Structure 1
């Protein structure tokens, strides 16, 4: 009897370890990368058939309450944008490599080189000299062809810097001849923009420049990575908050049992397939529980308040895991709610003190910048004073500078220039 108990214990432990071994990479991957995380298990198992969760429209799976309950247009557009498969910037550009802009093989090769050497903002950052030496052409001819990106959509792509990007866009703008000449001067001397403020066409130039895209690839920056939320949190018709798992987006695993189960190999593969199914179920259960905990601790946020201090240790204690495991588990996971699509990690903040989270500080900082004087933007020291006064905490200027950079907010002098451009 003792031997039997021991055998059963070993079998149970073996099954659990198999599931956990599958579970960790599946839990740590984002929902959009889940299929890729499963690939090693699927390719090694002939009894597994997988149907992609991407075959249905994600839009149908978003509860209407997320979109309808007091959401601003910009937030709604962000959520709806997740439901549409857009072409990437490189797909759009590749389609334009050909006649009439690039009719010859060398012009197409140069265009391809420019596209391949765009930086993260859409500016050309390639080594022109090396390319010209390898292809035995001079730099002037290279530049003539690169400048044809003036006619490529999105306009401004392929320029070397902000000024050239604005000049590209200026040539495609609806502007009077007189204002056009002044605009060229201003763009080439952007640092001294004040010197042109008394010019007759200055207001027209500023109006036109304010419509320019900066950076030139701004329309495609959010498309660089497909964001698929694991959870939807919303208020139902009874105004009760609900947590809905985005389980319809999961790959569907079918186990083919038509093979002869008398074969040991097939039996083992069926066990491994069931272990993979168990791993997916564990992922769903884990993230659903995370969602419930987020609602419990951050209820005020979902009703319009601020994110409260919540450490990963609190969550880890609930699950009986190490905080580092939980940190990896919530990485690249997102929640869709009526305040937008947010990364899970944003709900787990470091507390500045017992009652104030750094998320609350950042939210207040954003509000200060939105309301600041455009003629005299707030310096980091002034922001520091206002934040310390508001939250009754002690901080240092470099922390404000760090938060500002994390929020993609320019320094006060740079913001002043952008305000003068109407951006």
Structure 2
């Protein structure tokens, strides 16, 4: 086998670590970038934070925008709660139920079973049948367990301690005055048909007139499917912080990139002096590496702000009618079109605007909401959704439009959409199908 050497010329794309870092910083949200800079400053002693600059700059900006008056800066620390707010919050459901049990004078074995059942309740205040079966297998007498369940179901709120959704509704009905025999029968063996609003089939199953079924259905709908919702465990509220604001100042739409939530850093003069005084030392070599890293990161942050400002300025110009309030939804716009306007690569625009949010006087929106292909006569997907919502709002509730009928009406208006597209947009709007909108 003969070995030969051959020289070839080829173009190969290689991404250096610094370029990858620059791309990563470009696509970070403001809060992600703030965390990144804070973590980097912990391992890079050359980076020193400039205190006090962010709050002053935010106050100066917010004072120029009327609809931002009184809004606090997210980086200013946790919001101070209203005095006495915690005292007004409801106690836990377990505390509320045990407090009622203690006042009933139950004997000790029954009270112990009831307390244990309280700990088994799920987020809807219900007991799982398998948990009760486990207690029976563990040696708890079945009669005592049933007595404990009955005691728990007698507590407030009505519906607590139920073993199913139907039983929860039935417990609420039993505490209301009047004859609810048909409604109780529906809760026991007709919730599947009630959910589909098949009143005729439900009447035949129960052997009662349809009018009685409709009246019972109305009574059931007035009940609370989650009677312990006020005690539901809620996680910590997550706040969406915009990456930029668009405000009209002196008749001109202006873009303000969020720099108030970013810690402001500068290079430590002391470490810069140490690197200059000992150019050949080991410590100086370490400091020079850290100085180079800090300068590159801060330069990437500046580039990110400049690129984001350029992209958002072009976006605002393309969607000026929306930002000035002339239209309720943005017009059609593609990222490729914005990239051509700016002379940037489409991937750069995508990285810059992806996963970020913008706030204007209409509200807070993800930046992806402002992009969409044209549908029909210059409408955006958001415009088509708005038209669907309008048609549904104006329809006859006794004969609501099906997806096919909505498609035909839109096509008659020059909006070429398929039925499956109508169904997708309707679901995105949270609108139920026609048979569930019928009244």
TM above 0.5, yes or no, is yes
Structure 1 unaligned spans of 5+: 1-15, 69-75, 77-82, 87-92, 116-121
Which residues in structure 2 correspond to 1:87-102 (within 5 Å)?
96=92, 99=95, 101=97
Q: Which residue of 2 aligns with 1:7?
A: none
Which residues in structure 2 correspond to 1:293-312 (within 5 Å)?
293-302=314-323, 303-305=325-327, 306-312=329-335
Counterparts of 2:288 and 2:218, CA distance in 1: 74
Q: Which residue of 2 aligns with 1:48?
A: 47
Deviation at 1:207, TM superposition (A): 11
Picking from 370, 388, 402, the partner of 2:411 is 388
Contact 1:159 1:165 in 2 (8 A): yes
Total equivalences in the alignment: 362
Higher relative contact order (CA 8 A, sep 6+): 1
Deviation at 1:283, TM superposition (A): 2.1
Q: Which residue of 2 aligns with 1:228?
A: 241
Contact 2:401 2:434 in 1 (8 A): yes
Q: Which residue of 2 aligns with 1:271?
A: 292
Which residues in structure 2 correspond to 1:255-334 (within 5 Å)?
255-259=267-271, 260-261=274-275, 262=278, 263-302=284-323, 303-305=325-327, 306-334=329-357
Root mean square deviation of aligned Cα: 5.3
Contact 1:65 1:235 in 2 (8 A): no
What's the CA shift string for 1:190-218, capped at 9, x where partnerless?
5447679967x95996698288789969x
Distance 1:110 1:308, change over 3 A: same
Q: What is the TM-score when the length of structure 1 is the normalising length?
A: 0.64
Q: Which residue of 2 aligns with 1:31?
A: 30
> Given the alignment of the two structures, is residue 414 of structure 1 paired with residue 403 of structure 2, yes or no?
no
Deviation at 1:266, TM superposition (A): 1.2
SS, match of residue 26 in structure 1: helix
Contact 1:351 1:358 in 2 (8 A): yes
Contact 1:316 1:326 in 2 (8 A): yes
258-267 or 43-52, which deviates more: 43-52
Counterparts of 2:161 and 2:303, CA distance in 1: 47
SS, match of residue 381 in structure 1: helix
Q: What is the TM-score when the length of structure 2 is the normalising length?
A: 0.62
Which residues in structure 2 correspond to 1:323-402 (within 5 Å)?
323-353=346-376, 355-390=378-413, 392-402=414-424
Structure 2 unaligned spans of 5+: 1-14, 72-77, 82-88, 100-111, 204-208, 279-283
Deviation at 1:384, TM superposition (A): 0.7
Contact 1:50 1:252 in 2 (8 A): yes
Counterparts of 1:59 and 1:132, CA distance in 2: 59
SS, match of residue 335 in structure 1: strand
Contact 1:66 1:234 in 2 (8 A): no
Which residues in structure 2 correspond to 1:4-83 (within 5 Å)?
20-38=19-37, 41-49=40-48, 64-66=65-67
Contact 2:339 2:349 in 1 (8 A): yes
